[in-house]
Amino acid sequence: MGDRVFIFDTTLRDGEQAAGCSMTAAEKVQLALQLEALGVDVMEAGFAIASEGEFTAIQEIAAKVRHSAVASLSRAKREDIERSARALDRAVRPRIHTFLATSPIHREHKLRMDKERVLEETAKAVAFARSFVDEVEFSAEDASRTEPEFLVEVARVAADAGATIFNVPDTVGYAFPEEFGPLVGRVVQAIGDRATVSVHCHNDLGLAVANSLAAVAAGARQVECTVNGIGERAGNAALEEIVMALRIRRDLMGLSTGIRTPEIYRTSRMLSGFVGFDPQPNKAVVGRNAFAHESGVHQDGILKERSTYEIMKPEDVGFPDTGLVLGKHSGRNALRAKLEALGILLEGDGLVQVYRAFTDLADQRKKGVSDDEILELAQGVLVNCG
């Protein structure tokens, strides 16, 4: 299976499907070029048959991206697949990504198909897509609620028809890691080296990253994810969390990606600017508070040795800087460090006086104390001492 995990970014397709996250064609092209700079192996540029604008955006991205593979999503229908093929005509590495639901819920209520028909349509769609491009990915939609033995059968049929990637989606975020990992492992064992096994996990129960990592541990070698974890409903597995988890715990997983991690924060900020909202402040890796410390105990540890309370360096992901947030939980050492950063050296009684004034002010606030307010407190003490 190798020790390389390929990153399939679907921010431009699944991410954009999140409520309120639509982007213009120009924004999608700009973000695509940043995703290439980030080092994603594959970017899913859109759903070609959805609209003329979507088709045009995929065309432009395919023409400008030179290193990453560019994918277009298609239902398992000839007209969808043909539309994707045309949109990807100028791509250096085109990939057609076609899908069909496989779970009993979807077969009965949405598709009105029995198992034999699903297998037949799977084979037809993959073979038709393969007539246009060398890279064909097939997704068994709602795989985590599909009978395991039937999912394995679908995987074998897709691989026999020419699929180079077989994707196992947890479409509605239903799975737990302890069941999703073994399910993916069965698929890996069933198709061997005939196709790469991929996963695409949603975050409805907050388990998208955990499920993706369990799948990788079971042999999946492609992970589908989005920047900031945006996507349908509660979102997708977050690219930055998966990448940094594999990097920080390489001792445990023994796996790596091709992502240029110092580009992570820049990519996150670009996406936030385009969609009009930031990730939540406590979002892992890219949230405003991801490297912020207010507790005095934590601040003291950080000032002495960063690894006491930081398992990664802010600069590893391109984060501007470590934040010592001064508030009512902060200690004297953090205040001294902040004063030094502001150009004021205080020790002894002077520092004690500023610290007392600072804690009095901080107790009155719900939020932190600003640099200007700290300067004012310090200058007041210096004047009195002078």
CA angle 134, 137, 138 (to 5 degrees): 135
Is the pLDDT confidence value at 1 over 70? no
Is the pLDDT confidence value at 322 over 60? no
Exposure string of 260-279, with b = 16+ CB inside 10 Å and e = fewer, is: ebebbbebbbbbbebbeebb
Length of the chain: 386
pLDDT 10s digits, 345-366 = 778 888 888 888 888 888 886 5
Query: CB–CB of 44/10 below 8 Å?
Result: yes
Exposure string of 74-107, with b = 16+ CB inside 10 Å and e = fewer, is: bbbbeebbbbbbebbeebebbbbbbbbbbbeebb
Domain with CATH 3.20.20.70 in the chain: 6-275
Roughly what angle, to the nearest 10 degrees, separates helices 264-275 and 25-38? 170
pTM for this model (two decimals): 0.86
Q: Which two tokens stand for residue 113?
A: 């198909």
The phi, psi pair for 240, rounded to 5°, reads -65, -35
pLDDT 10s digits, 9-62 = 999 999 988 888 889 999 999 999 999 999 999 999 999 999 999 999 999 999
pLDDT at 323: 61
| Long-range contact pairs involving 377-382 (C-beta distance under 8 Å, separation at least 24) | 378/339, 378/342, 378/344, 378/346, 378/354, 381/346, 381/350, 381/353, 381/354, 381/357, 382/344, 382/346, 382/350
Instruction: Give the homologous superfamily in CATH for domain 6-275.
Output: Aldolase class I (3.20.20.70)
Number of Cβ atoms within 10 Å of the Cβ of 123: 19
Number of Cβ atoms within 10 Å of the Cβ of 113: 17
pLDDT 10s digits, 192-249 = 999 999 999 999 999 999 999 999 999 999 999 999 999 999 999 999 999 999 999 9
CA angle 177, 317, 304 (to 5 degrees): 100
pLDDT at 361: 84
196 three-class SS: strand
201 three-class SS: strand
Q: What is the DSSP string of 91-141?
A: -SSEEEEEEEE-SHHHIIIII---HHHHHHHHHHHHHHHHTT-SEEEEEEE
Q: Is the dihedral of CA 371, 374, 376, 381 positive or negative?
A: negative
Q: What is the DSSP string of 332-350?
A: HHHHHHHHHHTT----HHH
Q: What is the DSSP string of 54-104?
A: HHHHHHHHHHH--SSEEEEEEESSHHHHHHHHHHTTT-SSEEEEEEEE-SH
Distance CA 315, CA 56 (A): 36
pLDDT at 277: 87
End-to-end CA distance of the chain: 71
